[in-house]
Amino acid sequence: MDKQYIIRGVQRSSFRKFIAWMIPWAGLLIFGVYAIYLCLAKGLNQTNMDNRFAFGVWIFLDLTVIALGAGAFFTGFLLYILKKKELHAVINSAVVIGFICYSGAVGVLMVDVGQPLRAWFTFWHPNVHSMLTEVTFCITCYLTVLAIEYVPVILKNRKLREIPSMLVFEHELHKLVFVLAAVGTFLSFFHQGSLGGLYGVLRGRPFAFREGIAIWPSTFFLFILSAAAVGPSFILLTTWLVSKISKKRLVKKNVLMLLGKISGALLIVYVLLKTIDTLVWINSTSPAVGFPAYEFYSRKPFGTWILFTEIVVFGLLPALVLLSGRMRAHVGLLVTAAAFACTGVALNRFVMTIQTLALPTLPFDPFLSYMPSWQEVGAFLAVIAYGVLVYSLSFRYLVLFPQERELSNG
């Protein structure tokens, strides 16, 4: 019944089936929105965060989705600036994923702050020395960029492009999309870095504190690199996932392999630098401020295994798989490696946010634990449900994978 809105030449499930798919996600979204409402109306006492665990699962979510959403900027950069034409096959999907990740993150941040009505204070009285200022500015700007990039994708909808003004606007905007890609790259570079800097500058948290170059701690660069590394992996993963769920061939295998290769190449550099950084931190930075690093790993459950898992299992291992042409050619391995890479970065963000806060600083501090409340989990799920809904709608009514039509028509 919505056939005239669906792009020609591709097969989509029946409207009934589509609704059946959307309803549970919409339900989840409604639940999450209720949780968010509670947090906004009654205050953050609805969460299990506290004065000691001032950041919780939301910040972890923000950092992770923004890292994963880096696929948008990095694919755009590769396609429009470095002219990797193959990536045209996934750029639209990347933009939508980026938009979802960033808007979700900004949405959750708005709930996370105690006084959302004052969000604009950061713009009005910016403290330019704060990493969070940089993050706030860059994320809002980049979300705007993503929204602008999303516009042509939406305007390509079959019904919308029948309207002449939409058609020409899309056409003209699309011609300038390289500017947006360049701006997006610039902004992403800084805010991905600043998100890392967010923790790296915490002098009072020796577990997170890092030395660096000029005003930027090493985590600044590591975050950029890790985000750039897993961005393509996440695009690969989502493309594969969407392909499995919709039972369609969406892109040619060479595109997935290219994404994997790029991811692998960056990941190996990241793993190398992360290892160096960790060694420097263990042997120099941390002891210099009076905290021997082994002390951090003496607290259950965060032993050294977490370091090993992050760097080797979810870092080095997927990097090697992605770099090997033979293994990359095997879709199962390719996808698993991409999933590992994404998990690795999520774990890194978890370590930076949650473990940092769990560890004591004062000599008589206890090790702290924190378990999110259902309201926090609800808001978290709302972002996921929102993402699935937006992506599902986009996938059904917009052209996310230009190659799909060709592939489905043999």
Partner 1 sequence: MTAQKNSRYGMVIDLDACTGCGACMVACAVENNIPPAPESANERTGITWMRVYKVLNGKSFPDTQAVFVPMMCQQCEHHTPCISVCPQKAVELDEESGIVAQIPVRCLGCRYCMTACPYHARYFNWWDPVWPKGMEQTLNPDVAPRMRGVVEKCNFCHGRLQAAKAKAAAEGRIEIRPEEYQPACSDACPTNAIVFGDLNDEQSEVSRMAHQKDSFRLLETLGSEPKVYFQSERPWVHHIAEQDFASPEKETVHG
Partner 2 sequence: MFPWVYGFTWDAGSIVFLGAFFTVLAVLVATLMKATLRAVNDVKLERTECIRWKSDFHDLPAAAKKCRHEFTGEFAHRTCDNNFDCRDCATHAKLMSEHPLVVPENAEDVVYGFTMPLDRMYHRGHTWVRREEDGSFTIGLDDFASRLIGVPEQIELPPAGTRLRVNGTAWNVKKQGAAVRILSPVEGEVIEAGDPQRGWFLRVKPLEEKPNLRNLLRGAEIRPWMLREMERFQGLLATEGAGIALADGGVPVNDFSKAYPRADWDTVMGEMLLEP
Partner 3 sequence: MDKISRRALLKFAGGSVVGFLFSPMPWKLLDDTAKWSQNWSWIPKPPQGAITIKYNTCTLCQAGCGVRVRCVGDRPVALTGVHDHPISFGAMCPAGIVGHHLPYHPARVTQPLKLTEHAGSVDQYPLQPDELMNDLAKVIGEAHSSGTSVVFVDGQPNRYVSQLYRQLIDSLPNGIYAVSPHGDAVSAALQTMSERPSGMLGYDLEHARTIINFRAPLMDGWGTPGRIGQIIKQQKKVGVSERLKIIHVETRYSRAAAMSDEWIPVNPGADVFFALGLAHVIVREKLYASAVRKTADFDDAGISFVKFVREFSPDVVAPVTGISADKITRTTRELARHTPAVVVGGTMSDEEAMVLAQLNLLLGSVGKTGGVVARRSLPEIMTDRRERSAAKTIAQIPDGSVHLLIVDESAAAAIPWQILEKKLASEKSVVVSIASHLVGQTKCANYVVPSPTYLESLRDVHSPEGSVFASLSVSSPLIKVPAGVIEPASFLQKLAAAAGVPASPSISSPEDLLKKHVDALYRSRRGHVFVYANKETVDISKIESSEQLWKLLVDGGVWIDTSAEPAQRLLFFGHRKENYARMKTFIEERKQSAGKRTGGFPLALMPFRACGDVGEISPLMTKLYQESGLRAMSNRAMINPGTGAMFNLIDGAPAIVSTQKGKMKVDVRFDESVMPSVLFVSAGPDKACFNHSTAAKEENILLLCECDTDSLHCATPANIQKA
For partner 1, the binding residues (CB under 8 A) are 43-45, 49-55, 112-115, 118-119, 121-122, 124-127, 129-133, 136, 198, 201-206, 288-292, 295, 356-357, 361-366
Distance (Å) of CA 38 to CA 53, 58, 349:
20, 15, 27
Nearer to partner 2, 198 or 352 (CB): 198
Of 110-118, 153-161, 327-335, 340-348, the window that binds partner 3 (rule: CB under 8 A) is: 110-118
Q: Residues in contact with partner 3, total (CB under 8 A)?
A: 5
Q: Which amino acid is at 314?
A: F
Block residue for tokens 């409402």: 37
The pair of structure tokens assigned to 7 is: 């792009």
Q: How far is the CB of 137 from partner 2 (least distance, A)?
A: 6
Nearer to partner 1, 13 or 45 (CB): 45
DSSP 310: I
Nearer to partner 3, 3 or 118 (CB): 118
Q: How far is the CB of 170 from partner 3 (least distance, A)?
A: 17
Distance (Å) of CA 358 to CA 55, 211, 300, 329:
10, 22, 11, 41
> Which residues from 77-136 bind partner 2, rule CB under 8 A?
123-126, 128-129, 133-134
Binding residue for partner 2, selected from 26, 106, 141, 327, defined by CB under 8 A: 141
Do strands 212-213 and 216-217 pair parallel, antiparallel, or not at all (unpaired)?
A: antiparallel
- Whether residue 301 is preceded by a cis peptide bond, meaning omega within 30 degrees of 0, is yes
Q: How far is the CB of 45 from partner 1 (least distance, A)?
A: 4
- Closest residue by Cα to residue 233 from 326, 384, 334: 334
Residue pair 310/195 in contact by the 8 Å Cβ criterion:
no
Q: Which amino acid is at 208?
A: A
- Closest residue by Cα to residue 265 from 223, 310, 311, 324: 324
Of 20-28, 70-78, 246-254, 401-409, the window that binds partner 2 (rule: CB under 8 A) is: 401-409
Nearer to partner 2, 178 or 374 (CB): 178
Q: How far is the CB of 353 from partner 1 (least distance, A)?
A: 9
Q: How far is the CB of 366 from partner 3 (least distance, A)?
A: 9
Q: How far is the CB of 259 from partner 1 (least distance, A)?
A: 34
Type and span of the H or E element at 362: none
Block residue for tokens 């030449």: 9
Q: How far is the CB of 131 from partner 1 (least distance, A)?
A: 7
**CA–CA separation, 182 vs 141, rounded Å?**
13
In which region does residue 247 sit, left (phi positive, over 0), alpha (psi from -120 to 50) or beta (all else)?
A: left
Other residues' Cβ atoms within 10 Å of the Cβ of residue 406: 14
Q: How far is the CB of 117 from partner 3 (least distance, A)?
A: 4
Nearer to partner 2, 51 or 409 (CB): 409
Residue 113 binding: pick among partner 3, partner 2, partner 1, none (C-beta 5-8 Å cut-off by kind): partner 1
In which region does residue 127 sit, left (phi positive, over 0), alpha (psi from -120 to 50) or beta (all else)?
A: beta
**CA–CA separation, 66 vs 216, rounded Å?**
19
**CA–CA separation, 202 vs 219, rounded Å?**
11
Q: Residues in contact with partner 2, total (CB under 8 A)?
A: 43
Binding string to partner 2 for residues 146 to 185, with x set by CB under 8 A, is what?
--x------------x--xx-xxxxxxx-xx--xx--x--
Our separate counts of H helices and E strands in the chain read 19, 2
Q: How far is the CB of 106 from partner 1 (least distance, A)?
A: 13
Q: How far is the CB of 114 from partner 2 (least distance, A)?
A: 20
Residue 136 binding: pick among partner 3, partner 2, partner 1, none (C-beta 5-8 Å cut-off by kind): partner 1
CA dihedral of residues 197, 199, 203, 206 (deg, nearest 10): -130
> Which residues from 111-130 bind partner 3, rule CB under 8 A?
115, 117-118, 120-121
Type and span of the H or E element at 216: strand 216-217
Q: Which amino acid is at 97?
A: I
Nearer to partner 2, 249 or 299 (CB): 249
Q: Give the chain's radius of gyration (CA, Å).
A: 22
Residue 159 touching partner 3 (CB under 8 A): no
What residues make contact with partner 3 under the rule CB under 8 A? 115, 117-118, 120-121
What residues make contact with partner 2 under the rule CB under 8 A? 3-4, 7-9, 11, 123-126, 128-129, 133-134, 137, 141, 144-145, 148, 161, 164-165, 167-173, 175-176, 179-180, 183, 186-187, 399, 402, 405-406, 408-410
